Amino acid sequence: MPLRPARKIRPAPVGLASDMGRAGGGSAPDTGRSNAGQTSGNRPDGSDWHETRDRVEHYFDRTATDVWTRLTSDADVSWVRRTVRAGRDEMRALILSRLPDDLSGMRILDAGCGVGQLSQALAERGAEVVAVDISESLLDVARTRLPDHLAARVEFRTGDLRDDAFGRFDHVVAMDSLLYYDALDICSLLADLSDRTEGKIVFTVAPRTPLLTAMWGIGRLFPKSDRSPVMIPHAPRRLARHLERGGCVRKLSVVDRISSGFYISTCLEVAT
């Protein structure tokens, strides 16, 4: 399948930045630069892609590796985590349902693949999967869990999911890996990925519910060094509108929300 030539990345407009700050916690214009080796702009609160990514890496690579490994297995877990596990199963099925049944020969980025559950499912459908995660510990688990018959179809790579060195894709999926990023970061990431993706970009955000908003507020009370990666809630429809109007993406649709006990996540889809 022919892939489009790269276009130049657009910066997020200044007006958009203040709007998106309300939607997602960002607070200043983004530079729009999208390479993993660059920052996404200096915000008054000092946050940027790198800082968030480093906190996420620390969390998944050290603090939460065991919990995450257990949650994503068949091991017995608390009823709270069972609801999360069930919700995640539903979300995985929803994301997969947005892609063609037969993915033979398609190059798909599983952005923030964790222990590789979605990567496996994509490979079972014939895709050539580039499974990228910043956590080497989770990738180790993913490699161990990958059945032999899929080994040739999944390439596990350690790194930043926004690194353009990973190349071009037919489709991109990012399940629950952008939950920690503000709207400005999501804007510049999607603008960059849209230029390198022929088909769909399917991803999730944490919807703005009273509980998640309260947790986000409490998280901000802690010094940055002590924070685990607090999820940033978004109002999905407003986020979609702002990202379209700001020129970050051509068309962004809200697919559906999955609510299962303590798991609440909304699936969105970019048509490139």
Ligand X SMILES: C[S@@+](CC[C@H](N)C(=O)[O-])C[C@H]1O[C@@H](n2cnc3c(N)ncnc32)[C@H](O)[C@@H]1O
The H-assigned helical ranges of 77-166 are 79-97, 117-124, 136-145
* CA pair distance 57, 49, nearest whole angstrom: 12
Closer to ligand X by Cβ: residue 19 or 185: 185
Count CB-CB contacts under 10 A for residue 272: 19
Residues 6+ apart with CB under 8 A from 229: 52, 55, 56, 59, 180
User: Nearest approach, Cβ of 232 to ligand X (angstroms)?
Assistant: 12
User: Nearest approach, Cβ of 245 to ligand X (angstroms)?
Assistant: 25
Closer to ligand X by Cβ: residue 103 or 121: 121
* CA pair distance 269, 217, nearest whole angstrom: 27
User: Nearest approach, Cβ of 203 to ligand X (angstroms)?
Assistant: 10
Closer to ligand X by Cβ: residue 20 or 56: 56
Chain residues binding ligand X by CB under 6 A are 53, 56-57, 60, 112-114, 117-118, 132-135, 138, 160-161, 175-177
* CA pair distance 136, 252, nearest whole angstrom: 31
Closer to ligand X by Cβ: residue 19 or 154: 154
User: Nearest approach, Cβ of 173 to ligand X (angstroms)?
Assistant: 8
Closer to ligand X by Cβ: residue 13 or 113: 113
Residues 133 and 107: beta-carbon distance below 8 Å? no
- The C-alpha angle 101, 105, 110, rounded to 5 degrees, equals 75
User: Nearest approach, Cβ of 95 to ligand X (angstroms)?
Assistant: 9
